[in-house]
Chains A and B, each alone.
Chain A
Amino acid sequence: MLTLTSSGLYCQAGDFFIDPWEPVDRAVITHAHGDHATWGSRAYLTSRTGLGVLRARLEPGACIQAAEYGEQVVLGSTTIRLHPAGHILGSSQVRIEHAGEIWVVSGDYKTDPDPTCTPFEPVRCHTFVTESTFGLPIYRWPGQEQVFSEINSWWRANAAAGKTSLLLGYALGKAQRLLAGLDAGIGPILTHGAVERMTSLYREGGVELPATRYAGAADSRADATGAIVIAPPYADASIWSRRFGDHSTGFASGWMMVRGARRQRSLDRGFALSDHVDWPGLLAAIEATGAGEVWVTHGYTGPVVRWLKERGLHAQAIATRFEGERAEVTETSEDPHP
């Protein structure tokens, strides 16, 4: 059904690519993050709820078709359905049916609840193509209530000490999930430009988020004292962040589960909050598909494949160019495409 080409995962029966990393004729896009949504293809298909954010991330005038979750789309001799992946607003798994065989490509996903996007939906299939960003048993996410309570206590303590809290997280998805979990009673919430743009698209998409103020409009340090500022990781240590004077820096990412990752960036605080599945979530998701064949992409492919094989499944690693949450840590600017 699918083959891996130099441009990405290709379905011959339907003549389309899923999240190609080079321009193609027809691209089905699981979600709008830079390593999945590449510029320049002639036609795109994505979910209705993801249309706004994808349009903002692709070149002006890109030809994008939108489908509701669960809606049938016929491509070539295949039938496509998009199902929610719970990763960010509008993220989808791609279900492909052809000649009685069903494949599902997960894209990036998480099974934990998230008020800013439609929850992940298990889809039965014969072959499941899954990500494995956090495919090791060291990754077991702590309860979200606990993480948000840590974030809010950190913010409260900083505010009491007259400091600004700079909270870093990917501008699309993570930032809005953070906003939804903040206790707006503690103080004002400011946003970096990249976060503000994405947040307004979330609001247009009907996601309720607390009131925010564009940090660029803060004209003195006093404006930010006691505030929390949500910014993408690359804003850390940049000239931009200096405007906040005395501040404490936190970073929300699954990588923060490991102490070394936090210390590498000399952060004050790391919060283990991820938009990807953890180890137990990954195993449960694979099992829920009922698939007998599993393709494992970006992340800890080797260990996950071996684990599945030892449990009698057919599994293999697929070398894609997706970066998973690593992109959050290494990205240097908002748009990888100029």
Chain B
Amino acid sequence: MKAFARLYTALDETTSTSAKVAALVAYFSSAPPSDAAWAVHFLSGRRPKRLVSSGRLRAWAAQEAGIPDWLFEESYHAVGDLAEAITLVLPSTGTSSELPLSHWVEERLLRLRGEDDDVQREVMIQSWRELDTHERFVWNKLITGSFRVGASQQLVTRALGERSGVPEGVLSHRLMGAWEPTPEFFQRLTAADTSDADISRPYPFFLAHPLEADPATLGAADEWIVEWKWDGIRAQLIRRAGRTFLWSRGEELLAGRFPEIEESGALLPDGTAIDGELLPWAEGAPLPFAQLQRRIGRKIVGRKILEDVPVVLVAYDLLEESGVDIRTLPLSQRRNRMAALLQSLAPGRLILAPAVPSPDWETVATAREAARGLGAEGVMLKRLTSAYGVGRRRGDWWKWKVDPLTVDAVLIYAQPGSGKRAGLFTDYTFGIWEGDHLVPFAKAYSGLTDQEIRKVDAFVRRNTLEKFGPVRTVKPELVFELAFEGIQRSSRHKSGIAVRFPRMARWRTDKKAEEADTIERVRELLDSVSGREKA
């Protein structure tokens, strides 16, 4: 645990990529494979399931610290992170653990599963007493299932690549899909022999960068393929050895969630991998994202929901054909092969992503303006000659989103943030005018600079009208321009309107609260963009 806690601290302490990679290389150079496997598991974002309830952890930590429960809650609010709050309230014991990470995970953490309260309590308290502050924090992060550190899977593969000499692309691919963090896995991961195979394993997703420059800087428009940027779930559909696998971009196996897609997948020839987007779809066009939300998270999919919200896979790209990885072929060829493949099947739930004509950039720009009306977020620009890469890279794939919708709204409630924003009022609710009062319209947490956040925080502290738990009602004075991607009617919101991805675009210091937008203007906005949904 010592070495892993030291690695965590080193990663946490620096914002420099090279320093992080150096810390990872140092760790992997000395860690036994049994520890390294777990380290890769956690650092690449796989989290242990929470085995102890948060309520019990709080109660035991309060007891161990000798403080009443209410004081633990106050402390937790100030810290904004349960694992850290527990670490800080517990008195320091001056001990430290020489036991390896694999012991802590396999012999302690995983043993908590299914044990009764007394046993869990015993293990937790004993663990807290054995660990020093840094180790205790990492341990609590694992226990609360919130382990996250400033090291992406990309950094882990870079470090492993540096250490083992295995190309990063191979490492990323080996890290896809389902695997057990065993010493054997770690040895296979870093083995020079690349002829390994796992029939379910998806390819790393290739992601686009947002386009900020003028598209004319990309060269001639006809060297690009333009597609709609859909707002669904990016997914990979794989057919190998007579089995079908549907993976989300979060590398979650979506088995059983979208049976209609898996049925269509079963018609694909063995050795096929398609990259696409799951979309709720009816009559040749997407339904609002909220409809898809009804399907997400549902483990049992009944007939009614299948009929209400039919889903398709809009296919963007073909990654594997006849068992051969074709990611390095030019996109134009991959797309042609995919078109041929889909055409050979009976019409079903797999739809070739329609290409938007792109004779010149003006035509593309006009199409982009029309995107919202079609239920898309903008357009994707992909170079015809591009390979299917790994991760988010600049150059060949760009997303060019529609300018967001905006509304000027007044700050009415504020709440402290968590994690990095703990102790600062960073989570805001904004209101718009309905007659002479402000009706809550949207919540937003992002878009301000750190300096602006500190100013708003100071304002909230000096202008609190009422407190409800951690929430403060503030004097309605500050106006912000909120930007968002979509707008819909909603019976769950007080204003009757829901917006998608709201964030603060600008602090309108030039506007007074009375000058903020009214519900009438927001309803007009709704009508202007949702013609199709109303029909």
Contacts and interface: CB of A to CB of B under 8 A. Distances in A.
Contact of B454 (A139, A266, A303, A329): A329
Among A255, A302, A307, chain B packs the most CB atoms within 10 A around the CB of: A307
B81 to A, nearest CB: 7
B151 interface: no
B454 A258 contact: no
A300 B423 contact: no
B12 A138 contact: no
Given A261-B422, A261-B423, A264-B420, A136 B74 contact: yes
B70 interface: yes
A264 B84 contact: no
A264 B452 CA distance: 12
Interface string A28-65: 00000000000000000000000000000000000000
B424 to A, nearest CB: 7
B74 A258 contact: no
Nearest to A249: B15
B450 A258 contact: no
A269 interface: yes
* B interface bracket (residues with beta carbon within 8 Å of A): 20 to 34
A264 B420 CA distance: 6
Interface residues of A, number: 25
Contact of A268 (B13, B84, B417): B13
Interface string A13-24: 000000000000
A136 B14 CA distance: 28
Contact of A300 (B74, B89, B91, B450): B74
A260 B13 contact: no
Nearest to A331: B454
A220 interface: no
A265 interface: yes
B454 A136 contact: no
B89 A258 contact: no
B81 A330 contact: no
Contacts, number: 71
Interface in B416-451: 417-424, 450
A260 B450 contact: no
Contacts of A258: 78-79, 84, 88, 422-423
B14 A306 contact: no
B458 interface: yes
A137 B75 contact: yes
A266 B15 CA distance: 8
Given A258-B84, A258-B88, A268-B13, A137 B65 contact: yes
B89 A138 contact: yes
A263 interface: yes
A266 B13 CA distance: 10
A140 interface: yes
A337 interface: no
Contact of A330 (B65, B421, B422, B458): B458
Given A140-B92, A329-B454, A330-B454, A260 B423 contact: yes
A327 to B, nearest CB: 10
Contact of A302 (B13, B65, B74, B75): B74
A215 to B, nearest CB: 23
Interface SS of chain B: helix
A306 B73 CA distance: 13
A196 to B, nearest CB: 25
Given A257-B88, A260-B420, A136 B78 contact: yes
A310 interface: yes
B285 interface: no
Given A264-B420, A265-B450, A268-B13, A307 B88 contact: no
Contact of A259 (B70, B84, B453, B458): B84
A268 B67 contact: no
A329 B88 CA distance: 21
Contacts of B91: 140
Interface in A122-168: 136-140
Among A259, A268, A269, chain B packs the most CB atoms within 10 A around the CB of: A259
Nearest to B76: A138
Interface in A228-266: 255, 257-261, 263-266
Contacts of A269: 13
B240 to A, nearest CB: 43
Nearest to B92: A140
Contact of A138 (B88, B417, B458): B88
B71 interface: yes
Nearest to A306: B70
A260 B454 contact: no
B68 interface: yes
A137 B13 contact: no
Given A140-B91, A310-B68, A268 B15 contact: yes
Contacts of A138: 75, 78-79, 85, 88-89
Contacts of B88: 137-140, 257-258
Contacts of A303: 71, 74
5 contacts: A137-B67, A137-B75, A259-B81, A303-B74, A306-B70
Given A137-B65, A300-B74, A329-B454, 19 more contacts: A136-B71, A136-B78, A138-B79, A139-B88, A258-B79, A258-B422, A260-B417, A260-B422, A263-B419, A263-B420, A264-B420, A266-B15, A268-B15, A300-B78, A303-B71, A306-B71, A307-B71, A330-B454, A330-B457
